[in-house]
Amino acid sequence: MDILASRSAGGNEVNQIQPPNGSEKLGQTLDLEWTNMNQQCCAPDDQTTTANVDLPPPIPSQVTDQTRAKNEKISAERQKKMAEEVAKMSVEELVRGTIRAQEERVMAYRVFDEKLRECLTELALSNYQVYAAHATAQFSAISNGIRTILAALLAKNTDEEPTTGVTTPISNLQNHEREKLRLTAALHLEKIRAAAETDDKIKDLLSKSVVSYQNSLTDLGLMIEEEVDELRSALV
């Protein structure tokens, strides 16, 4: 069973968003909250930090208004079905599903970072809105899937067969990933600012800030890998 079946539908809708023509100045707010993409995929109920990044104008509100109710209904139905299927899985299957979902999340970050590099290299920053929206939808769906697995594992926890050995690292993993999303948004913002800056002193400060964020993300990556290693050990 594909525990992240909701991701493909969300991704297709995001891909339909087109950047405004001739928009070279980033001028709105990029909301990297996982909950922001609930019209594209199942929305998580936990809060994350948003990052204010100047972007081109968003798609017209009337477009999203026309489809929001329909998409929310589809998302709710998909979430209910996924929860029912996940509840039938064994603890081992759920742990393996979490590891697979985390591997997908790692790949999503790699693609997101690569798309930013393309935008900076080609000086096509207006395209960043599309890539950011698509990445946000992916992160939201993956997090939603892992949270559904976590709920199923907690429901299976008993004195005779405790599941805390896997629910704790999964919970820690989710917390670390929220922080990673926040730091990634901040890092991307600094890179965009540095690319547009003409003052050498300010550019140097921004470059140092970029290095600082990169170091923080490296440390966080090690913490995330430790949690994943714990899950892998539980399968041995």
In order along its 236 residues, the chain shows pLDDT tens digits of 444 444 433 433 333 323 333 333 333 323 333 333 333 333 333 433 333 344 444 444 445 666 777 777 777 777 788 888 888 889 999 999 999 999 999 999 999 999 999 888 887 777 888 899 899 999 999 999 999 999 999 999 888 888 889 999 999 999 999 999 999 999 999 998 898 888 999 999 999 999 999 999 999 999 999 999 999 999 97
Residue with tokens 């050995």: 165
The verdict on residue 222 lying in a domain is: yes
Q: CA dihedral in degrees (119, 120, 125, 128; nearest 10)?
A: 50
In a domain, 1, yes or no: no
Q: Quick one: pLDDT at residue 225? A: 97
pLDDT of residue 218: 97
Judge whether 132 lies within some domain: yes
- pLDDT for position 66: 65
* Token couple for 5: 């079946």
26 assigned to some structural domain: yes
Beta carbons within 10 angstroms of residue 129's beta carbon: 24
Number of Cβ within a 10 Å radius of residue 134: 23
pLDDT, position 16: 31
**Spatial separation of the C-alpha atoms in residues 148 and 79, rounded to whole Å:** 9
Domain assignment present for 114? yes
CA-based nearest residue to 125, from 31, 206, 23? 23
How many domains, the chain? Answer: 1
* Structural domain includes residue 59: yes
Q: Residue 21: give the domain boundaries.
A: 6-234
Q: What is the pLDDT of residue 85?
A: 86
DSSP 3-state assignment of 142? Answer: helix
> Residue 65: what pLDDT?
64
